Amino acid sequence: MTQQSYEAVQSEIVRLRGLAKKLKRKHTAAKLRARRKVLALMKKLGVTVSDLKGAKPVAATAAKPGKRAARKAVGSAVGKAATPRKRRARKIPIKYRGPNRGDTWTGRGKTPRWLAAQIADGKKKEDFLIS
């Protein structure tokens, strides 16, 4: 590396550091302006920071509450805090058994390779169904 290229790189570093400082100042000023606008709007509407902390986002199209939502509402109506319940993993019964020992499938998820191969050979999925 020659001395000229080293000096050129050093001067480029100095220039880029100055540019970075300038951009950081602009960004900070923009954030400050945005913050002032938000605070002014909050003051105009009478909204406090504590109002925002407890607020939950509202979806444009709200989904219908299901069983879980109804259960949660009942629990909170009694005065209890809604605590998440642990779901117990259920053992899913096997619905299909293959020709080889250990080839089983519950019927959920992607079709296993052994069954896909049997279907490709012309057999029906129902042939492997456990009665």
pTM of the full predicted structure?
A: 0.35
**Domain interval for residue 122:** 96-128
- Buried b / exposed e along 5-26 (16+ C-beta atoms within 10 A): eeeeeeeeeeeeeeeeeeeeee
CB 50 within 8 A of CB 56: no
More confident position, 112 or 74:
112
Using one digit for the tens of pLDDT, what is the confidence trace for 2-49? Answer: 677 899 999 999 999 999 999 999 999 999 999 999 999 999 999 888
Domain contains 59? no
Domain contains 108? yes
Using one digit for the tens of pLDDT, what is the confidence trace for 50-67? Answer: 888 876 666 655 556 666
Domains identified in the chain, total number: 2
Domain contains 20? yes
Domain contains 103? yes
